[in-house]
Structure 1
Amino acid sequence: MKNSGNHFIAFLFCSLSVFAQNKIDRKAVVSRHNVKVNVVDTLASLSVGNGSFAFTVDAMGLQTFPDHYKNGIPLGTQSDWGWDSFSNENNYRFEETLEDYDQNGRKVSYSVQPKTPERAAKATEYFRSNPHRLQLGNLGFELYKKNGAKVKPEDITIIDQTLNLWTGKIESLFKVEGVPVTVETVSHQEEDVVGVRIKSDLIEREQLKIRLRIPYPTGEWMDTGTKWEGNQNYKSSLSQKDKHEAVISHKMDSIHYQIGLAWEGKAEISEESSHYFVLQP
């Protein structure tokens, strides 16, 4: 029995030694699972981020068609710090949402959703929806055809998009009326920063612009970040630092944040309407 055991142990050590010599090519293992997208699929949104920040894009590499994607995987920009609360004008108290239940002879209070009285129902709805996470901004293309009409999702052709799982980069290729557009999308690994490189003849033809829109939060159970107008007294102000940088300050109920923009080459930025800005190369 001892000899058999010794032979078995020797064989085991030998196997481990051979295994250790065959190092895993981790890049190859990870890269063979790269994600590919070839159509405008509302359930095939891709994201870049760093664990505390995420930027989700469509098949064009930016957030160009948020309304089209809202019933699939929405195109959003979110960060751990991006929370807001509506003003509590009616002075609701959390205690108004509680109801006592008997648990083995003792009373335990739970926050419930009563239909009556009306104030309790409204108090519950207020605390359910506050604080709420924000869609911080929507960064996308404004694409135009030769005749000046805006490009729709069905006008996009020859889509070839890849999420490189090893580098974290999204590389997108698509065509508008036969003209190719290539886009590289990345996220900073520590900061809330997105970098984009765009190449296309559409830029020279003035058929491609970059759009930034800031949506209103709805407080609804599912907020897809596609509400562009509201009655809230929110403000977005544009200040241009120089020919290559600009800052947009956004003030809401309980939060004030800034969006910095920086670009290479000649471009002009303008405010199209409230919370709607366009960068024209």
Structure 2
Amino acid sequence: MFPTEPNTICCLFLLCSIFLTSNAAIDRHSLVTRYNPTRNASNPTTPMQVGNGNFAFGADVTSLQTFLPFATMSSWGWKNDSLPPNRTIEDVYNYKGESWYNHGRLVQYDFGGDPEIEQWLTANPNRVNLGIVGLVFLDAQTGLIQNVLESDLSDVHQTLDLWTGIMSSEFTYEDTAINVTTTSAQDISAISVTVSSPLLFPNTSNAFTRLGIFLDFPWGDGSQKFSAPFVGNFSSALFNNHTTTLLDHSEYQAQIKHRMVDAIFYTAVESSTKFDITRDSPVAHRYTILPHSDTNSLSLVISYNSTLPSSLPSSASLVQSSIATWESYWMDGGFIDLITGSTDSRADELQRRIILSRYLMGVNEAGEDPPQEVMYSS
């Protein structure tokens, strides 16, 4: 039976009228880019994102994770915590919860058993934050890392191009412009990051480069499984809970091995520009990348995997792949234009929600295991 509510009938009539009377092709590019999100400050709970359905990278206003440790998540990156003391995997298999009468019969539930095993089952497996990437600011004379806050930046502008999946930021630090562009690969768990600024290049008055990129790796604790939007713990008190190792590297590439309990993850970095990578301290899991050659621009491809990749795409090819994939995403399949010719004041907001929802679905829920989101650790 068809619905008979007046509002429903009006909506159906409106949609039918659109489909029957419109012969012109929808300008999809214009409609999608109309709603490109822009910001001039970080939002503490909702990151800008790029991704591909199996992989998502959340960013603050720098288009990286410089000031807010938003997550880098994947559909494949999971781990199990160690079992509670004096418990074995057999205790997990043999776990039984309480039985309650329900409709005249006993039903066994998954709560009320051994509390240690119950908590372990609740928390495991847990999705891993693969690591964060951000800008590092250095003193020109000493080369020491500076404690820079977002409030130290000025003229901040960030844009997410929904049509291409390219996120970009421009801002000024100490009267010098910095531009950052971040793009997600569409077939692997990787991002391309391009930083352009005179601060990358030591001039006659600066003994050291003043800008670089850091990689940092948190401990993943199952007890924080639902702690959106930040996943993982960067506390120094937990440094000994996991290990990171800088593997063999050259002037153009590096690999870092991150081990948490029995799970191992690899981060690979490649660039067409020479760079140095160093560990900030023997115990911390943070690494700093600085350009080695005279340049005002540094492009890196940073990939995450459970095994070491044999090769990585170039930054340019990764960006072109994102442009082509997202154009196909928007051009193929159904599309609704609610605002062309409409006099309804609600049409623009409804169109905005449709476009942004479709983008977020493409980033978080269009992978191999939908509808599980890769934005947080739920």
Query: Shorter-chain TM-score: which interval?
Result: 0.7 to 0.9
Counterpart in 1 of 2:107?
A: 108
- In the TM superposition, what are the counterparts of 1:115-126 in structure 2 within 5 Å? 120-126=114-120
Question: Identity, % of aligned pairs?
Answer: 29
Deviates most, 211-220 or 137-146: 137-146
Classify 1:125/1:17 alpha carbon distance in 2 versus 1 (closer, same or farther; 3 Å).
closer
Q: What's the offset of the Cα at 1:122?
A: 1.7
Q: What's the offset of the Cα at 1:52?
A: 0.6
Q: Distance in 2 between matches of 1:226 and 1:181?
A: 29
Counterpart in 2 of 1:135?
A: 129
2:147 partner amino acid: K
Structure 1 residue 266 corresponds to structure 2 residue 274: yes
Q: What's the offset of the Cα at 1:17?
A: 7.8
Q: Distance in 2 between matches of 1:109 and 1:101?
A: 6
Classify 1:166/1:99 alpha carbon distance in 2 versus 1 (closer, same or farther; 3 Å).
same
Contact 2:133 2:214 in 1 (8 A): yes
Contact 1:97 1:123 in 2 (8 A): no
Q: What's the offset of the Cα at 1:19?
A: 2.1
Counterpart in 2 of 1:87?
A: 82
2:212 to 200, 209, 219: 209
Contact 2:243 2:260 in 1 (8 A): yes
Q: Distance in 1 between matches of 2:96 and 2:67?
A: 39
1:207 partner amino acid: R
Q: Distance in 2 between matches of 1:96 and 1:208?
A: 53
Structure scoring higher RCO (CA < 8 A, sep ≥ 6) equals 2
Q: What's the offset of the Cα at 1:204?
A: 1.3
Contact 1:214 1:228 in 2 (8 A): no
Classify 1:86/1:43 alpha carbon distance in 2 versus 1 (closer, same or farther; 3 Å).
closer
Contact 2:81 2:221 in 1 (8 A): no
Counterpart in 2 of 1:218?
A: 221
Structure (1 or 2) with the larger CA radius of gyration: 1
Q: What's the offset of the Cα at 1:51?
A: 0.4
Q: Which runs of 5+ in 2 are unaligned?
A: 1-17, 203-208, 292-378
- In the TM superposition, what are the counterparts of 1:32-47 in structure 2 within 5 Å? 32-47=34-49
1:24 to 23, 26, 32: 26
Classify 1:28/1:96 alpha carbon distance in 2 versus 1 (closer, same or farther; 3 Å).
same
Contact 2:219 2:260 in 1 (8 A): no
Contact 1:174 1:181 in 2 (8 A): yes
Contact 1:217 1:227 in 2 (8 A): no
Classify 1:112/1:26 alpha carbon distance in 2 versus 1 (closer, same or farther; 3 Å).
same
Structure 1 residue runs of 4 or more that deviate by more than 3 Å after TM superposition:
15-18, 94-97, 144-149
Give the structure with the higher percent strand.
1
Q: What secondary structure does 1:27 align onto?
A: helix
Q: What's the offset of the Cα at 1:57?
A: 0.6
Q: Which runs of 5+ in 1 are unaligned?
A: 1-14, 67-73, 115-119
1:249 to 229, 253, 257: 257
Q: What's the offset of the Cα at 1:218?
A: 2.2
Classify 1:257/1:44 alpha carbon distance in 2 versus 1 (closer, same or farther; 3 Å).
closer
Q: What's the offset of the Cα at 1:209?
A: 1.3
Q: What's the offset of the Cα at 1:217?
A: 1.2
Classify 1:132/1:201 alpha carbon distance in 2 versus 1 (closer, same or farther; 3 Å).
same
Q: What's the offset of the Cα at 1:113?
A: 5.3
Counterpart in 2 of 1:99?
A: 98
Q: Distance in 2 between matches of 1:44 and 1:208?
A: 26
Q: Distance in 2 between matches of 1:18 and 1:105?
A: 60
Classify 1:122/1:263 alpha carbon distance in 2 versus 1 (closer, same or farther; 3 Å).
same
1:276 to 259, 271, 286: 286
Q: Distance in 1 between matches of 2:138 and 2:280?
A: 16
Q: TM-score w.r.t. structure 2 length?
A: 0.63
Q: TM-score w.r.t. structure 1 length?
A: 0.83
Q: What's the offset of the Cα at 1:44?
A: 4.4
CA deviation profile, 1:198-240 (whole Å, cap 9, x unmatched): 1001111411111001000122244422424316552211123
Alignment size in residue pairs: 255
Q: What secondary structure does 1:39 align onto?
A: coil
Classify 1:160/1:228 alpha carbon distance in 2 versus 1 (closer, same or farther; 3 Å).
same
Classify 1:58/1:145 alpha carbon distance in 2 versus 1 (closer, same or farther; 3 Å).
farther
Q: What's the offset of the Cα at 1:61?
A: 1.0
Contact 2:219 2:239 in 1 (8 A): no
1:180 to 171, 177, 181: 177
1:46 partner amino acid: M
